[in-house]
């Protein structure tokens, strides 16, 4: 298994290009199954999760090939209906094919994803949504069996805002007979991108970007061509890297309109953030000011940046707090950050942090995508050598991270054990 070796501390300086958003491309790939023919997705990042989804599409009978950053998916022979455990267990987003398979074939067999690295992540709302649309759902031997004649438009009111359940409901409703109204729809930009792609395939969707989506189902979707938005979490991670190292990093091809909460948090820690025409310049302070972060649904502070901001605040000048209201257990990075010398106390979903002036390099273990990036940030400023083990988590969600960090002056290399 590969690991990263980082020599610190280093101040990052320079330019970095932000790749397409992982969490936007995965639902678009699942949505391609709703159309017969060839869809194309542009600005696709080269990630392990994208490759896993390509594998899944192929298992379902589609042809899928990534040429540079353009992904072509031809669904002419996509007649499969099963997403097997072996793939779903490595990537929960495989659940996205549930809505599209059911809507297209009238049946789907999708493995239950099970827990994830930091705790339970239920899918009850995905199931509720397709049941509301008329599907029969049965759980058996670790699989979801869903079936129905043509789905029927309905009202779906989510008790909790869920990115995945909103996306699955939208995909299923796209081919349903009649109108579906989704209430308390997730507001994340990645959800809006899916809606826009469905619209370009011929579905009428009203209320994109709001919490009420009205979807007029169509008999069949036309193949679509869609360009993926920049990854706001990748951009936020490089911005955090600038701040933690007291550096100066220019982010190219990011969309600052998706990043207000993260930029506000970094500004409160003393960073200067200048939004220029095509780029954003992030300049970190010598040492960060402490802060108080609460993760919330978009446009709030994203849970996917919680670990990275924790790395920053662990070296701030005083006491900080971080509360994760989306995933109360998402703290597997805490014991690993302590190995650098961080002083963190956990009380339920609240982390209380006493900033320390310096970190010492250490061997640490990555546990999920975002926790891994937080450990890399810590390694960049730690004295001496840091080894980050289990880097396949990083490969799932960060496009060419070693090259990008080296381009900013980091001393990081990937070695195979």
The tokens of 97 are what? Answer: 């094919």
Binding residue (CB under 6 A) for ligand EPU from 19, 23, 39, 94: 23
Interface with ligand EPU: number of residues (CB under 6 A):
24
> What's the min distance (Å) between Cβ of 287 and ligand EPU?
28
> What's the min distance (Å) between Cβ of 23 and ligand EPU?
3
How far is Cα 152 from Cα 110, in angstroms, rounded to an integer? 21
Question: One symbol per residue from 307 to 336: x for binding ligand EPU (CB under 6 A), - otherwise; what is it?
Answer: -------------------xx---------
Segment near ligand EPU (CB under 6 A); pick from 8-16, 68-76, 162-170, 336-344: 162-170
Confirm or reject binding of residue 168 to ligand EPU (CB under 6 A): no
> What's the min distance (Å) between Cβ of 290 and ligand EPU?
25
Confirm or reject binding of residue 160 to ligand EPU (CB under 6 A): yes
Secondary structure (3-state) at 142: coil
Contact 1, 417 (CB under 8 A): yes
Please classify residue 159 by burial: count the beta carbons closer than 10 Å to its beta carbon, then call 0-12 exposed, 13-18 middle and 19+ buried: exposed
Binding residue (CB under 6 A) for ligand EPU from 164, 246, 270, 284: 164
Contact 411, 361 (CB under 8 A): no
- Which is the catalytic residue, given 5, 87, 116, 128? 116
The tokens of 397 are what? Answer: 């969600």
Query: What is the Cα gyration radius of the chain?
Result: 21
Residue 93 or 374 having the CB closest to ligand EPU = 93
Residues forming beta bridges with residue 82, ordered by sequence position: 109
Segment near ligand EPU (CB under 6 A); pick from 61-69, 277-285, 300-308, 371-379: 300-308
The conformational region for residue 61 under phi > 0 = left, psi -120 to 50 = alpha, else beta, is left
Segment near ligand EPU (CB under 6 A); pick from 155-163, 279-287, 316-324, 332-340: 155-163
Tell me, yes or no, if 116 is annotated catalytic: yes
Task: Show contacts with ligand EPU in window 28-87 (CB under 6 A).
Answer: none
Residue nearest to ligand EPU (CB): 164
> Can you say how many angstroms the Cα of residue 76 is from the centroid of all Cα atoms in its chain?
29
Task: Show contacts with ligand EPU in window 186-215 (CB under 6 A).
Answer: 186
Confirm or reject binding of residue 20 to ligand EPU (CB under 6 A): no
- Bond from prior residue into 134 cis (ω within 30 degrees of 0): no
Residues found in the chain: 417
How far is Cα 354 from Cα 382, in angstroms, rounded to an integer? 17
How far is Cα 225 from Cα 32, in angstroms, rounded to an integer? 10
> What's the min distance (Å) between Cβ of 51 and ligand EPU?
15
Confirm or reject binding of residue 165 to ligand EPU (CB under 6 A): yes
Secondary structure (3-state) at 138: strand
Contact 92, 114 (CB under 8 A): no
Residue 261 or 326 having the CB closest to ligand EPU = 326
The tokens of 66 are what? Answer: 């990534």
Following DSSP, what letter does each residue of 200-235 receive, concatenated?
HTT-EEE-TTSSEEEEE--SSBPP-EEEPPB-HHHH
> What's the min distance (Å) between Cβ of 369 and ligand EPU?
4
> What's the min distance (Å) between Cβ of 186 and ligand EPU?
6
Binding residue (CB under 6 A) for ligand EPU from 33, 397, 399, 405: 397
- For the annotated catalytic residues, the residue numbers are 116
Binding footprint of ligand EPU on the chain (CB under 6 A): 22-23, 26, 93, 121-126, 160, 162-165, 186, 302-304, 326-327, 369-370, 397
């Amino acid at each position: 298994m590969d690991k990263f070796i980082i020599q610190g501390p280093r101040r990052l300086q320079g330019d970095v290009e932000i790749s397409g958003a992982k969490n936007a491309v995965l639902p678009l790939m699942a949505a391609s199954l709703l159309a017969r023919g060839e869809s194309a997705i542009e600005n696709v990042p080269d990630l392990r999760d994208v490759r896993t989804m390509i594998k899944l599409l192929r298992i379902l009978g589609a042809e899928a090939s990534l040429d540079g950053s353009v992904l072509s998916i031809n669904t002419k022979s996509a007649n499969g209906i099963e997403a097997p455990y072996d793939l779903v267990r490595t990537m929960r987003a495989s659940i996205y094919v549930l809505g599209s398979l059911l809507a297209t074939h009238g049946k789907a067999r999708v493995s239950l994803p099970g827990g994830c690295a930091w705790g339970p992540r239920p899918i009850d709302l995905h199931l509720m949504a397709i049941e509301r649309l008329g599907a029969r759902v049965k759980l058996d031997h670790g699989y979801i069996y869903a079936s129905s004649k043509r789905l029927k438009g309905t009202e779906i009111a989510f008790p909790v805002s869920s990115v995945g359940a909103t996306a699955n409901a939208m995909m299923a409703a796209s081919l349903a007979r009649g109108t579906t109204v989704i209430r308390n729809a997730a507001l994340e930009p990645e959800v809006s991108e899916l809606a826009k792609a469905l619209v370009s395939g011929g579905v009428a969707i009203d209320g994109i970007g709001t919490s009420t989506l009205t979807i007029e189902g169509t008999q069949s979707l036309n193949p679509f061509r869609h360009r993926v938005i920049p990854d706001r979490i990748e951009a936020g991670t490089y911005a955090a890297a600038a701040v933690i190292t007291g550096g100066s990093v220019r982010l190219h091809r990011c969309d600052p309109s998706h990043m207000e909460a993260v930029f506000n948090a970094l500004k409160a820690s003393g960073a200067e953030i200048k939004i220029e025409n095509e780029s954003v310049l992030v300049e970190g302070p010598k040492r960060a000011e402490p802060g108080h972060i609460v993760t919330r649904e978009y446009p709030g502070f994203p849970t996917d940046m919680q670990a990275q901001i924790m790395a920053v605040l662990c070296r701030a000048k005083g006491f900080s707090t971080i509360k994760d209201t989306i995933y109360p257990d998402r703290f597997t990075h805490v014991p690993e950050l302590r190995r650098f010398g961080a002083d963190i106390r956990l009380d339920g979903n609240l982390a209380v942090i006493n900033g320390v002036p310096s970190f010492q390099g250490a061997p640490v273990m990555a546990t999920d995508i975002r926790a891994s990036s937080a450990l890399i940030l810590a390694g960049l400023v730690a004295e001496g050598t840091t080894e980050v083990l289990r880097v396949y988590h990083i490969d799932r969600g960060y496009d060419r991270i070693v090259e990008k960090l080296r381009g900013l002056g980091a001393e990081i290399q990937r070695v195979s054990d």
